[in-house]
Structure 1
Amino acid sequence: MSHAPTGLELYSQTADDAAAAVISRYSTSFGIAARLLGPRPRPHVRNIYALVRVADEIVDGPAHDAGLSPERERAVLDGLETEVRDAIATGFSANLIVHAFARTARECGITDELIAPFFASMRTDLDTAEHDDLSHDAYVYGSAEVVGLMCLQVFVNAGMTAPAAPAADLVDGARRLGAAFQDVNFLRDLADDANRLGRDYLDGAADDERRVAVLDRIDADLAAAASVIRHLPPDCRAAVTTAHDLFAELSRRLRSSPVGAPRVRVPDGVKATLAARALLGRPPKGSRS
């Protein structure tokens, strides 16, 4: 006999629902991919995305639009980080998004080893406008690669008795897929980052030669990630393949799109085709498997 949830169970389900609402409003691409996950990892990946999005919004405009000074933005971000750590330690937060993430972190073994670099990169956005190769790599590790590693912790550990360390090839694949996603978004948002936020993450990628070098790096990262997706648990492969292929398609379109063109997008019909292809068990594009 089923029972209606009460108490902490009801609260946690409500927190998961709040996280699902965040991903559905902010990202069609990741929203599609998340829906292709099995029920075991799906809510946890949504919980990760929601926290990442909230932190990103603190430093990328909405907080400023609300009238917060840079100093106040930093204080809000610091407070969010403290809330996350406290919620992981106690198992509860009055912030639904933080509560959802903490539940995922506790079950799947997401520790401060990944959380601290993420918030460090978010903090970088408050005081660093221009990046060289070294600072780009550090920023991408914290803002994207560790998010891929958080998702990998979910893929391997959700529903398990105790979290275990993922295999080294999966760790490398998760990092490189996260880096590719971030660099694609940097290229897509080049003008907006420069004009609205005053930031240059790619050290002059408006230059054609530099832009091609970034795209070559993206494609190499995507290829490396594609080669290990088959080693993921079965209930994760279609979702990760879809996300991979969506960004591979964006990379392809960026190569044929001149600097200054409107933001590159993948049409809904193409997204649906890529998702259907992944659901049929086809390997990621660019994979030799």
Structure 2
Amino acid sequence: MTSKATTPQALYQRAAQDAAHTVIRQYSTSFGVATAMLTEPVRTHVRNIYALVRVADEIVDGSFDPAPIPHLTAALDALEAEVAQAMDRGFSTNLIVHAFAHTAVTCGITDAEIAPFFASMRRDLGDPYYTAEELSTYIYGSAEVIGMMCLRAFAQAPDVAPTQRSTLVADNIDAARALGAAFQKINFLRDLAADQGELGRYYFPDVAAKGLTEPVKNKILADIEHDLDVARQGIARLPGSSRGAVKAAYLLFTSLTRKLRRASCDELRTRRLRLTTPHKAVVLARSALPTTPRPRIQHSAGWTDSKALTHP
């Protein structure tokens, strides 16, 4: 029974948001900690976005294994159609879809971001080899548009005036895309063993053609570091309601990138690298320090010094 102060619609919305939060807690402890640093309503919107992304990922990454490819494609098609219907009607019987649709309508997320995302998810069910152009298209849909969606959520924060929301998005869209792309490429490199050995996917064309060698690894990392540098320059422009959380995610992934650079190719071919819990705790503590933009610091390995974010 609901109280007089709680409408059925509000109760259902809260249940949908709680379901999205549960998905995030189950699948990503680091991401869960980072999103906890966001203020409301941004925190809930970002969780709603990532919960839908996680469900789509699970369709293509084996939760329904050994379902035949046509069944998985049909499941993705049905999920995309359900999202569109929920955005139009304002309701879905699928709690995760309902939560995402509420966020999409509130934040101005449209089919311009949603369609490329589902297109990339379908691509995971197709040819396991990618050309450079195909990989770029895939990363745009699977990661860059997620950064764009989150940026639209950041613009809904109480410390962003309604008249400034479109400017915030326009000024930071390149950084949001770059951060999403960097995260995706980092995950591709750290998940190399599972992607190739278990899923039979070869995202990096050079790895498929030449194998993972030091020159190939360094080329991939240089590309990642360029994306991270573009993203870093946008963090200081974010509102306080989202800056700390984005910085925390950035620092976690830059630390992981450093670990990938130190790792041998044999390590990357055989196991997934992780940050230890104490290391994560230190990085998250650093993210609370003031953000001061600094010029890029070039090291011999071509690395952008993340200390520029934490030491004014």
User: For the superposition of Structure 1 and Structure 2, which TM-score range results when normalised by the shorter chain?
Assistant: over 0.9
2:39 aligns with: 38
Using the alignment, how far apart are the partners of 1:38 and 1:197 within structure 2? Answer: 37
Using the alignment, how far apart are the partners of 2:32 and 2:183 within structure 1? Answer: 15
Using the alignment, how far apart are the partners of 1:281 and 1:37 within structure 2? Answer: 16
C-alpha contact 2:90 2:102 (8 A) present in aligned 1: yes
Q: 1:114 to 1:266 in 2, by over 3 A?
A: same
**1:194 aligned residue (175, 188, 196):** 196
Using the alignment, how far apart are the partners of 1:158 and 1:139 within structure 2? Answer: 30
State the secondary structure of the residue aligned to 1:21.
helix
> 1:157: how far off?
2.6
C-alpha contact 2:182 2:227 (8 A) present in aligned 1: yes
2:254 aligns with: 248
TM-score of the superposition, structure 1-length normalised?
Answer: 0.94
Does 2:29 correspond to 1:20?
Answer: no
Does 2:85 correspond to 1:79?
Answer: no
C-alpha contact 1:223 1:287 (8 A) present in aligned 2: no
How do residues 1-289 of structure 1 correspond to structure 2 at under 5 angstroms? 5-64=6-65, 67-158=66-157, 164=166, 166-205=168-207, 206-261=212-267, 262-283=271-292, 285=306, 287=308
Q: Which has the higher contact order (CA 8 A, sep 6+)?
A: 1
The alignment yields a C-alpha RMSD, in angstroms, of: 1.9
Structure of higher CA gyration radius: 2
State which drifts further: 91-100 or 22-31: 22-31
Q: What amino acid is aligned across from residue 169 of structure 1 in structure 2?
A: D
Percent of residue pairs identical: 48
C-alpha contact 2:87 2:101 (8 A) present in aligned 1: yes
Q: 1:158 to 1:71 in 2, by over 3 A?
A: farther
Using the alignment, how far apart are the partners of 2:199 and 2:50 within structure 1? Answer: 22
Using the alignment, how far apart are the partners of 2:292 and 2:30 within structure 1? Answer: 18
- CA offsets, 1:18-67, max 9 Å, x none? 00011111112211110111122001000000000000110111112xx4
Q: 1:62 to 1:165 in 2, by over 3 A?
A: farther
C-alpha contact 2:147 2:179 (8 A) present in aligned 1: yes
C-alpha contact 1:122 1:143 (8 A) present in aligned 2: yes
C-alpha contact 2:39 2:157 (8 A) present in aligned 1: no
TM-score of the superposition, structure 2-length normalised?
Answer: 0.87
Q: 1:151 to 1:109 in 2, by over 3 A?
A: same
Using the alignment, how far apart are the partners of 1:150 and 1:158 within structure 2? Answer: 14
- CA offsets, 1:145-182, max 9 Å, x none? 00000000000135676963644330000000000000
Q: 1:138 to 1:228 in 2, by over 3 A?
A: same
State which drifts further: 163-172 or 241-250: 163-172
- CA offsets, 1:175-219, max 9 Å, x none? 000000000000000010001110000124312211111101111
Q: What amino acid is aligned across from residue 282 of structure 2 in structure 1?
A: T
C-alpha contact 2:41 2:156 (8 A) present in aligned 1: no
Using the alignment, how far apart are the partners of 1:118 and 1:259 within structure 2? Answer: 30
Using the alignment, how far apart are the partners of 2:138 and 2:174 within structure 1? Answer: 17
> 1:283: how far off?
4.8
> 1:125: how far off?
0.5
- CA offsets, 1:221-260, max 9 Å, x none? 1111111111111110000000000000010000011123
